Chain A
């Protein structure tokens, strides 16, 4: 079974703090994704990566950056957290070379920024 793990289930941070959300997958997947999920807005794609050291902006990249130094790990960074970044963050991975393949999700990190 594919396993995607996220570093924290719940996280509370203060405004202005630098926040790191880590995601690790154990199936040698090429593609990795970061989403945020808010009530009424569904899943919105923040950043994605189709290869090591490669990253692409999604629909809402502002205020975020990412890092993919190893194939299995994809990190989401909030350089200076703000209250409007309070949300559920979901990481996903997929095999193959196409973004349309089945995605496998981690359990999510619920981030609260005070």
Chain B
């Protein structure tokens, strides 16, 4: 049951530029989370934003949530080569349903 859908599927930028990834979803959510996955590894949690929050920051990461449009964006500022990875959004629905992950955005940061 795919809920979140990231856009774009792939993104290539120069080091120092900002990277923006978007996530759209279909049903009401309890929270939305962003994860990073380096090639061939497990996912690492980056940030969680609750449905009653509109914006959240963590270091160079900024996440926004627009529940009226059912969308979220992840902004990575001043990107580095080490930010090269796939980024997934995951929606936390109501009740006890497990997180539903999107298919991810593949980010390449070129030095």
Contacts and interface: CB of A to CB of B under 8 A. Distances in A.
A107 B2 contact: no
B1 A103 contact: no
Interface string A10-43: 0000000000000000000001010100001111
Interface in A60-82: none
B55 to A, nearest CB: 19
Range class of the B interface residue count? 20 to 34
Contact of B98 (A48, A90, A106): A48
B72 to A, nearest CB: 15
Contacts of B90: 103
A14 B90 CA distance: 34
Given A4-B42, A90-B43, A106-B42, A43 B101 contact: yes
A45 B103 CA distance: 13
Interface string B35-66: 10000111111001000000000000000000
B93 interface: yes
A102 B92 CA distance: 9
Given A42-B104, A106-B42, A50 B48 contact: no
B85 to A, nearest CB: 13
Contacts of B102: 42
B45 A42 contact: no
B45 A102 contact: yes
B40 to A, nearest CB: 7
A41 B96 contact: no
Contacts of B92: 98-101
7 contacts: A42-B101, A58-B98, A90-B43, A92-B42, A100-B93, A100-B99, A103-B90
Interface of B: 1-2, 30-31, 33, 35, 40-45, 48, 88, 90, 92-93, 96-104
